[in-house]
Structure 1
Amino acid sequence: MSGQTHDGFTPTGTIAKPADRRRVVIATVVGTTVEWYDFFIYAFAAATVFAALFFEPMGEEFAQIVSFFSVGVSFLFRPLGAFLAGHFGDKIGRRPMLVITLLLMGAATTLVGVLPTHALLGVWAPILLILLRVIQGISAGGEWGGAVLMAVEHAPKHKRGLFGASPQIGVPIGLLLASMVLALTEMIFPGPKPGSDVALADTPFGQWGWRIPFLLSVVLIVVGYWVRRRVSESPVFTEIAERKKETRMPIVQLLRHHLPLVIVAALVFAGNNAVGYMTTGGYVQHYATDPKGPIALDTGAVFWVVALSGVTWLFFTWFGGWISDKLGRRTTYIIGWVLQLVGVFLLFFLTNLGTLASLTAALVILTIGLGFTYGPQAALYAELFPASIRFSGVSISYAIGAIVGGAFSPMIAQAIFQSTRSTTGITWYLAGMTVIGLIATLLLRDRTGIPLGPEHEEEQAKSPIHGASKA
C-alpha cells in the first residue's frame, strides 16, 4: 500500500507494485474461471445427456424439463451460500471464503464425474446428482461476492470497472473452456449423430465420454487453489479489521436498512442473467442439437459455436467494465440494455434459419449486449453498499438476481416451446426480463467513484435509489 490517512490507516484502492496488481487480477480471473467451468459443464451435460442417463424413466419430454430443473435448483441454494459467505466474508475476510468456495465447487464437480447413472443405481442416481448440484449452488452463491470485492477493493478509483471486469470475464472464459472441452471430448468419443436412431447410452460419449470434463476439474482446482492462496486480503477488510468495526450480524443489518436496494440490485442482474442462461444454462445447445427439433445441428459443432460466442462475450464484458470507468456505470448499463434487447429479438430469428453460420451470428450479437450489462456489475455492486456489509450486500443481491433471472430460464424456455412449438413466446419472455433490468437501472443513481473505505460509511449508507431517503 502507498501512503496513509491522517489517522494512520492506509487508503483503499492503491497497490504500490504492479506485480501485486497483476496477482489480484490473475487470482480473480483464474478462480472464477474454474468455478464457472465446473458450473457450466453441468448445465451443458443437463442439456445433452442427463435427461437420457439420469431422468429417462420420466418420459422423453418431461425428462428434459426435469434435467433443466436440476440446473435451476442450485440457484435456490445460492442465497444460502451468499448468506454464509457474506456473513463470514464480512467477519473473517474475503480471501478465506474464496478458497473454501473453490474447493467446495471442485469436490462436487468431480463427484458428478464418477456418479453411476439411473441404469446402475436406480432412483438414487438422480437424487445424488441433484444433491451435488445443490452443493455447486451453495459454492457459486459465495464465490462471486468475494471475487468481485477482492478485485474492486484493490483497484484504483478510476479503474474499478476495469478491475471489476476481471472476475466477470472468468465467466465467459469458463463458458469457452467448458464448451471446448466438451467439443473435443465429443469429437474423440462421439455421441449419436443427427437423424441417427442410436441411443445416447449406446455411444462412447453417453457411456463415459461425458464424464471426462467433470474429472478434469481436479487439475483446474489445484491451479486455482495455488493462485488464490498467493493473493493478499482486501485492503477494505484490512482497514475494517484494524479499526475493529466488523459488523456483528451483517446480514441482519443489510436486510433491516437496505432491503429495497437489495431488490433493485437483484433485478439489475436478473435482466442479464435470464438472457445469458440461454447459452450458459444450456437451452440453446439443446434446442439446436435436439434430433427431433426444428434444426438438429451436430452436437460437437454447436459446442464450438458456443465456444466462439464465449470469446466475444469475454471481450465485450472486459470492454463494458473498461468503458464504465469513462461513461459511468449507469450510462454503460443503459447502452447495454438497448443492445441486449436487439440481441434478444435476433436470437431465435437467426437461429431458426438452421445453419451453423446463422447460429454463430445470433450468439455473437447477443453477447455484445450481455457484455455491456455484465462487465460493469462488479463495480456497480461494490459502489452500492457500505463497507462493513458490502460482502453480504453484493452476495445476496447476486443470489436473488440469479434466482429471478437465470435459475429456471432454460426450463421456462423449454416449457414454452413444448406447449407452443414456437420460439416467439421465449423471445417475449427474454425481452420482458431485459426491460425489467433497464427499469431497475433507471431507479439507481450513478455512484461511480464513490469512496469505498470504512471511513466513508456515512456517505456510502445514503440510498442510491432515486427518491429514497438515507437508509
Structure 2
Amino acid sequence: MTEPMVSPAGDATKVRKIAAASMAGTALEYYDFSIYGLAAALVFPTLFFPQSNAFVGALASFGTLAVGYFSRPLGAVIFGHFGDKIGRKPVLVITLVIMGVASTAIGLLPTYSTIGTWAAVVLVSLRFLQGVAFGGEWGGAILMAFEYARPERRGFFASVPQVGPAVGTLLGNAVFLLVTFLPEDALLSWGWRIPFLLSALLVVLGLIVRLKIAESPEFAALKAEGTAAKVPLADVMRSHLKPVLLVCGSFLGYGAFSIVALTFLVGYARNTQGVSSSITLTAILATCMVQIPVIMLGGYASDRFGRRRIMTVGPLAAIVGTVLLFWTISTAHPAWIILGYVIGMGVLFTSAYGAQPALFADSFEPNVRYTGMSLGYQLSNVIGSGLMPLVATLLLNATGSLYAIAGAIVVALAVSMACSLTLVRISTSLASEPKTPVNTSSTPTTVT
C-alpha cells in the first residue's frame, strides 16, 4: 500500500489548530501521570503502605506506578485498533475521559487508615485504567498533527503534541509544589488530593478543545477508499513487527531517564540527601519550561537537516545529560541540582525528543500507523519507564551508588541510538514509494 501525501494546498492555520488541540490532550494526560509519579515518591508510601519499612514502602509505591506503564500496551492495542479502524478523533475523546475520571477518583480515594488494604487495591485499579487510557492517547495525538501537516513540515508539527509532556509535567509539578508548602499533617490529610481533583476541570477544558477538531485527512482517505485495516494488530504482527520493536528500542533510554529524573530522584534527594522537595520540584518546573522550545526546535531541525543527523547527535547529548544530572544530585547542593536538571535534562536530554514522533510515524503505513507506533512506544514504556523506578531502587539498595543507576540509563540510551538509526532507514524506504495526494479541504486538489 502507498502512503497518502497531504496536499500543499492544506490550510496552515488548520494544521496549527490541530497540533495545538493534540498538545492540549497530551498535556492533560501527562499532568495526570506526573502528579501520580510525584505522589508515589512523596506521600503514597505513608498513606497506602504505612506498615512497610521505608525500602519496602518505596518499592510498593513505585510498583503501583509501574502498573500504569504495564497497562499501556493493552491501551495501545485496544485504542490503536479502533484508531486505525474507525478514526483517530473518537478514540482521542474516549481516552481523555477515562484518564480524567480515573485521576479524579484517586483524589477521592480513602487511604489505608480508613479502608485498610482495599485502599491499595483500588489505587492499583485506577492506576491500571490510567495506563490503558494513556496507551491509546499518545499515538492518536501525534498522528492528528502529523497527518494534517505537509510532508516537509511533519517533523515540526508532530513535535507540538510532544510538547504536551513538558506542559503537563510543568503544570503537575507547579500544583504539587504549591501543596508541598502546606504543613506535613495537612499535606498527608487533604493537600495531596488537590492535584488529582483538578483533573475534573482540566478534562472538561480538554474535551471542549478536542471535540472541535476534524478527523485526520489521511484516515478519511483510507475510509473513502475502503482500505482501512480490518484487524490492524494482525497486520502489524504479520508485516510490521520489526519497526514496532525498533520504536520500542528507540524510546527505551528516554523513558528510563525521564521516569527516574521526574520521580525517583525527587524522592532520593529528599529522603537521602536532605534536599527539600521544593528544590527538586522547582528544578523540574524550570526544566519543563526549557524543554518546550527545545522539543519544537528538535522537530524543526529534523525537517531542516534530516532525521539521521538529529538521531545521531541527540542520544549522545542525552548520555552527557544523564551523567551531568546524576553528578549534580550527588552534590546535594540546590543550585547545582537546578542547573543539572535545566542543562542535563532540559537541553541535552531533550535535543532529539521532538524528532522522534515523526520518525516513528514515518516508519508505518497509514492503515496500521496508530497501532504500530503506539504499540512500540508503549512497550518501551513498560520496559524503560515502568521497570526503571523498581530497578533504580534495587540498584541503589544493592550498591549504595547513584552511578549504578546512571550506568543502566546510559546503556539504554545507546540501544536507543542504534534502533533510531535503523528506523531512519526504514522510514526513508517508505518515503521513496509513490505517494497519492490527500486533500485537507473539502474540494479536490492536485499536488504539483
Provide TM-score, normalisation by structure 1. 0.88
1:29 and 2:23 matched: yes
- CA shift for structure 1 position 381: 0.9
Amino acid at match of 2:33: F
Q: Which residue of 2 aligns with 1:86?
A: 80
User: Does structure 2 retain, via aligned residues, the 8 Å contact 1:318–1:371?
Assistant: no
Q: Which runs of 5+ in 2 are unaligned?
A: 438-448
Q: Name the CA distance, whole Å, in 1 between partners of 2:14 and 2:221.
A: 18
SS in 1 for 2:114: helix
User: Does structure 1 retain, via aligned residues, the 8 Å contact 2:328–2:340?
Assistant: yes
User: Does structure 2 retain, via aligned residues, the 8 Å contact 1:97–1:142?
Assistant: yes
What are the Cα deviations for residues 393-439 of structure 1, in whole angstroms up to 9, with x where unaligned?
Answer: 11111111111211121221121112222112111111111111112
1:425 and 2:404 matched: yes
Amino acid at match of 2:307: R
1:158 and 2:152 matched: yes
1:300 and 2:282 matched: no
Q: Name the CA distance, whole Å, in 1 between partners of 2:175 and 2:7.
A: 37
Q: Could you tell me which of 210, 233, 241 is aligned with 2:192? A: 210
Q: Which residue of 2 aligns with 1:170?
A: 164
SS in 1 for 2:353: coil
Q: Which residue of 1 aligns with 2:444?
A: none
Q: Which residue of 2 aligns with 1:194?
A: none
- CA shift for structure 1 position 15: 6.2
1:383 and 2:362 matched: yes
Q: Which residue of 1 aligns with 2:110?
A: 116
Q: Which residue of 2 aligns with 1:255?
A: 237
Worse-superposed segment, 142-151 or 362-371: 362-371
Q: Which residue of 2 aligns with 1:243?
A: 225
Q: Which residue of 1 aligns with 2:246?
A: 264
Matches within 5 A, 1:347-362: 347-362=325-340
- CA shift for structure 1 position 442: 2.9
Amino acid at match of 1:190: P
Matches within 5 A, 1:5-20: 12=6, 14=8, 16-20=10-14
Q: Could you tell me which of 213, 221, 227 is aligned with 2:209? A: 227
Give the 3 Å change call, closer, same or farther, for CA 235–453 of structure 1 in structure 2: farther
- CA shift for structure 1 position 17: 3.2
1:180 and 2:174 matched: yes
- CA shift for structure 1 position 11: 5.1
Q: Could you tell me which of 43, 50, 56 is aligned with 1:56? A: 50
Q: Which residue of 2 aligns with 1:343?
A: 321
Give the 3 Å change call, closer, same or farther, for CA 289–24 of structure 1 in structure 2: same
Give the 3 Å change call, closer, same or farther, for CA 279–246 of structure 1 in structure 2: same
- CA shift for structure 1 position 372: 2.3
Q: Which residue of 2 aligns with 1:71?
A: 65
Q: Which residue of 1 aligns with 2:183?
A: 190
Matches within 5 A, 1:310-329: 310-329=288-307
Give the 3 Å change call, closer, same or farther, for CA 353–55 of structure 1 in structure 2: same
- CA shift for structure 1 position 13: 5.3
Q: Which residue of 2 aligns with 1:5?
A: none
1:309 and 2:322 matched: no
Give the 3 Å change call, closer, same or farther, for CA 12–22 of structure 1 in structure 2: same
1:410 and 2:404 matched: no
Worse-superposed segment, 346-355 or 16-25: 16-25
Amino acid at match of 2:406: T
What are the Cα deviations for residues 90-135 of structure 1, in whole angstroms up to 9, with x where unaligned?
Answer: 1110000000000000000000001000011101000100110000
Q: Name the CA distance, whole Å, in 2 between partners of 1:289 and 1:314.
A: 27
User: Does structure 2 retain, via aligned residues, the 8 Å contact 1:161–1:325?
Assistant: yes
Q: Which residue of 2 aligns with 1:40?
A: 34
Give the 3 Å change call, closer, same or farther, for CA 348–156 of structure 1 in structure 2: same
Give the 3 Å change call, closer, same or farther, for CA 222–455 of structure 1 in structure 2: same
Q: Which residue of 1 aligns with 2:351?
A: 372
Amino acid at match of 1:351: I
Q: Name the CA distance, whole Å, in 2 between partners of 1:86 and 1:46.
A: 29
Q: Name the CA distance, whole Å, in 2 between partners of 1:258 and 1:365.
A: 37
Q: Name the CA distance, whole Å, in 2 between partners of 1:57 and 1:258.
A: 47
User: Does structure 2 retain, via aligned residues, the 8 Å contact 1:30–1:224?
Assistant: yes
Q: Name the CA distance, whole Å, in 2 between partners of 1:272 and 1:10.
A: 30
Amino acid at match of 2:319: L
Amino acid at match of 2:165: V
Amino acid at match of 1:286: G
Provide TM-score, normalisation by structure 2. 0.93
- CA shift for structure 1 position 173: 0.7
Amino acid at match of 1:287: Y
Give the 3 Å change call, closer, same or farther, for CA 454–338 of structure 1 in structure 2: same
Give the 3 Å change call, closer, same or farther, for CA 254–455 of structure 1 in structure 2: farther
**RCO higher in structure (CA 8 A, sep ≥6):** 2
Give the 3 Å change call, closer, same or farther, for CA 15–127 of structure 1 in structure 2: farther
Q: Name the CA distance, whole Å, in 2 between partners of 1:257 and 1:11.
A: 22
Q: Could you tell me which of 377, 398, 402 is aligned with 1:398? A: 377
Amino acid at match of 1:130: V
Give the 3 Å change call, closer, same or farther, for CA 453–387 of structure 1 in structure 2: farther
- CA shift for structure 1 position 19: 3.4
- CA shift for structure 1 position 453: 9.5
- CA shift for structure 1 position 59: 2.0
CA RMSD for the aligned pairs? 1.8
Worse-superposed segment, 101-110 or 363-372: 363-372
Q: Name the CA distance, whole Å, in 1 between partners of 2:388 and 2:370.
A: 26
User: Does structure 2 retain, via aligned residues, the 8 Å contact 1:13–1:235?
Assistant: no
1:131 and 2:125 matched: yes
Give the 3 Å change call, closer, same or farther, for CA 386–50 of structure 1 in structure 2: same
